[in-house]
């Protein structure tokens, strides 16, 4: 029994190189479930692993891919049976543990979620970690009590993976979405996903000169951080909230405490990687009902294992639109 994988090695200069190799199945890491992988994806974090390792990978050679979908082949636990359709996001798979850029993966059963019947393995990876994280952000804003009537929701990094899916989910749920993008040429794409208003990223990239700006947004879904997040936070309405998941614009943000203590604004940090199983299952269940699948299909770019080394620097530069689905066959 063998598998095909994109095997990564790191040179003395930290630069990562990749080659597609056929390996015996016993090279797979320990785990209680072996999955025949159908699809994986390319996320921002995968871009780091494929270019420099990003400090995320500890041992080489390595197989990347922080998420995958497929069919259970063998299972040492009654929780999964051969034939089950499953998805995996995070748990540091593709970083510390071999990931989805292979035709087979072996993982811990606790890391797998059974797919809702309405989501095929291909669509599961069109959603991917980006889309599942979007849903976690939306769930945080909902839990805060924000309803469509409360007003506009700002999505930053809107043409990226997390942003695109977030726009589509929020619009389907009836929210008025303001999509901030540095790529105004993607305006039609974002409108088709359901954005009501497109704003140029430049409007949010000047550090706020005052700690509080005019109140505008009922909620913010931020994938960028940096000045954009500081500026967005300064415009959240009294009692509103932001769900933050990303740092495409760098980790630091030049913010003020005043939105929290004068407007009662809340910030919800979203981590998709180590999140316990119950909210993961809830997020996937919600994706099965609240993500318009026709919109999802319009976000997808197809790729194979052989395309990944070239695509990786592009996602780090913010040049990839929507979601990349990797057919590992």
Residues in contact with ligand NDP by the rule CB under 6 A: 43-45, 129-130, 133, 157-163, 181-183, 201, 223-224, 228, 245-249, 270-273, 315, 318, 320
Residue (35 or 228) nearer to ligand NDP, CB: 228
Closest separation in Å from C-beta 271 to ligand NDP: 5
Secondary structure, 3-state, 127-185:
HHHHHHHHHHHHHHHHHCCCCHHHCEEEEECCCCHHHHHHHHHHHHCCCEEEEEECCHH
The CB-nearest residue to ligand NDP is 160
* Minimum distance, C-beta of residue 66 to ligand NDP, in the bound complex (Å): 8
Q: What CA–CA distance (Å, rounded) separates 48 from 315? A: 9
CB of 22 to ligand NDP, least distance (A): 30
Closer by beta carbon to ligand NDP, 67 or else 73:
67
Phi-psi region of 318 (alpha: psi -120 to 50; beta: other; left: phi over 0): left
**SS percent in the chain: helix, strand, coil, step 5:** 35, 30, 35
Which pairs from 307-312 meet CB under 8 Å and 24+ separation?
A: 308/6, 308/18, 308/42, 308/46, 308/50, 308/64, 308/101, 309/6, 309/17, 309/18, 309/50, 311/42, 311/47, 312/42, 312/46, 312/47, 312/50, 312/51
The answer to whether the CB of 40 falls within 8 A of the CB of 129 is no
Closest separation between CB of residue 204 and ligand NDP, Å? 8
Instruction: Closer to ligand NDP by CB, 162 or 177: give it.
Output: 162
Shortest approach of ligand NDP to residue 299 CB, angstroms?
10
Measured from the CB atom, is 72 or 224 closer to ligand NDP? 224
Quote the least distance from Cβ 221 to ligand NDP, whole Å: 11
Helix (H), strand (E) at residue 302? strand 300-304
What is the phi/psi pair of residue 155, to 5°? -115, 120
Strand partners, 75: 33
In the bound state with ligand NDP, the residue whose beta carbon lies nearer, of 261 and 278, is 278
Closer by beta carbon to ligand NDP, 147 or else 202: 202
**Cβ nearer to ligand NDP, comparing 23 with 131:** 131
Minimum separation from the CB atom of position 47 to ligand NDP (A): 7
């Amino acid at each position: 029994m063998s598998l095909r994988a994109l095997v990564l090695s790191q040179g003395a200069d930290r630069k990562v190189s990749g080659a597609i190799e056929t390996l015996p199945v016993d090279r797979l890491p320990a785990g209680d479930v072996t999955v025949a992988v159908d699809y994986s994806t390319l996320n921002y974090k995968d871009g780091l692993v494929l270019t420099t390792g990003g400090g995320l990978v500890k041992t080489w050679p390595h197989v990347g891919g922080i998420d995958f979908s497929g069919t259970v082949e063998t299972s040492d636990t009654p929780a999964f049976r051969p034939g089950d359709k499953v998805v995996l996001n995070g748990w540091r798979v593709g970083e510390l543990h071999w990931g989805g850029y292979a035709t087979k993966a072996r993982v811990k059963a606790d890391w797998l979620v059974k797919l809702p019947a309405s989501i095929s393995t291909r669509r599961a990876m069109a959603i991917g970690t980006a889309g599942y994280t979007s849903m976690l952000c939306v769930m945080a804003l909902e839990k805060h009590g924000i309803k469509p009537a409360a007003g506009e929701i700002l999505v930053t990094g809107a043409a990226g993976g997390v942003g695109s899916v977030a726009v589509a989910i929020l619009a389907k749920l009836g929210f008025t979405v303001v999509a901030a993008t540095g790529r105004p040429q993607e305006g039609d794409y974002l409108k088709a996903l359901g954005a009501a208003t497109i704003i140029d990223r430049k409007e949010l990239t000047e550090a706020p000169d005052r700690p509080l700006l005019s109140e505008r947004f009922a909620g913010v879904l931020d994938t960028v951080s940096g000045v954009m997040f500081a500026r967005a936070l300064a415009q959240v309405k009294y009692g509103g909230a932001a769900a933050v998941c990303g740092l495409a614009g760098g980790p630091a943000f030049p913010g003020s405490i005043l939105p929290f203590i004068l407007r009662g604004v809340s910030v919800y940090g979203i981590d998709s990687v180590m999140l316990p199983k119950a909210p993961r299952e809830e997020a996937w269940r919600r994706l099965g009902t609240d993500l318009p699948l026709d919109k999802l299909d319009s976000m997808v770019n197809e790729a194979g294992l052989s395309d990944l080394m070239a695509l990786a620097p592009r996602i780090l530069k913010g040049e990839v639109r929507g979601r990349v689905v990797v057919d590992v066959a």
